[in-house]
Amino acid sequence: MKYKIFTLLIIATSLLTSCSSETVHYVNIETDFGTMKAELYNSTPKHRDNFLKLAREGFYDDLLFHRIIQGFMVQGGDPESKGAAEGVRLGTGGPGYLIDAEIGAPHFKGALAAARTGGASNPEKKSSGSQFYVVHGSKQTDQSLDGIQSMKNITYNESQREKYKSIGGTPSLDQDYTVFGELVEGFDVLDKIAAVQKDGSDRPLKDVKMKVTISN
């Protein structure tokens, strides 16, 4: 009897340990300006697993950051951007599927989020299967955050407010797009990409290519 109880205790301890030690996944987003390293959230498993799958397949190799708005975000991942001629408008391509929304995390500077089609055609706010953006954003004030809260009927806690005020972000996107990761290195690279010269469609005049690989 004592042996059985001891065995059960070992099994229970093992299960608790395995549940509390989820693997943390990182990716490198390599560019001519340097490398941004991002952690992928385990709280958004569909987006995490899809991004890892595409990275393993080399899907993102030589794709462009095709839409850049300083103080807002830098967007890429359109497969039609690979080798695209100068001046061609991009942003409608994808792998042929969408991902169910996993909305929750805020859009602080450095947030890694999924692009999507807006409007009435996408009421479930499903994400593009490949296009993503990295939030550049700007520093917020209590007044601006109060306005977002009122407009979107959401509440920021003190920690979130302080982060938006200290490092910035794009809170106007909160609760509308899935944030599935965040930069842990390369904020200087993000700033450099955000500052490039663009055409009237926010496409860089000089291509900003990427390569996404899985990091340790």
How many of the other CB atoms lie within 10 Å of CB of 119? Answer: 6
Q: Provide the whole-model pTM.
A: 0.89
User: Strand, helix or coil at 214?
Assistant: strand
Distances from the Cα of 69 to the Cαs of 22, 37, 52, 140, 181, in angstroms? 35, 20, 26, 17, 20
Contact (CB, 8 A) for 76 and 131:
yes
**DSSP bridge pairs for 165:** none
pLDDT per residue as tens, the chain (216 positions): 544 444 444 434 444 333 334 899 999 999 999 999 999 999 999 999 999 999 999 999 999 999 999 999 999 999 999 999 998 999 999 999 999 999 999 999 999 999 999 989 999 999 999 999 999 999 999 999 999 999 999 999 999 999 999 999 999 999 999 999 999 999 999 999 999 999 999 999 999 999 999 997
pLDDT at 7: 40
pLDDT at 22: 86
| Helix/strand/coil percent split, the chain, to 5 | 30, 25, 45
| Residue 202 burial (C-beta neighbours within 10 Å; 0-12, 13-18, 19+) | middle
Whole-number Å distance between alpha carbons of 23 and 21: 6
pLDDT at 14: 42
pLDDT at 111: 98
Distances from the Cα of 216 to the Cαs of 37, 86, 186, in angstroms? 10, 35, 16
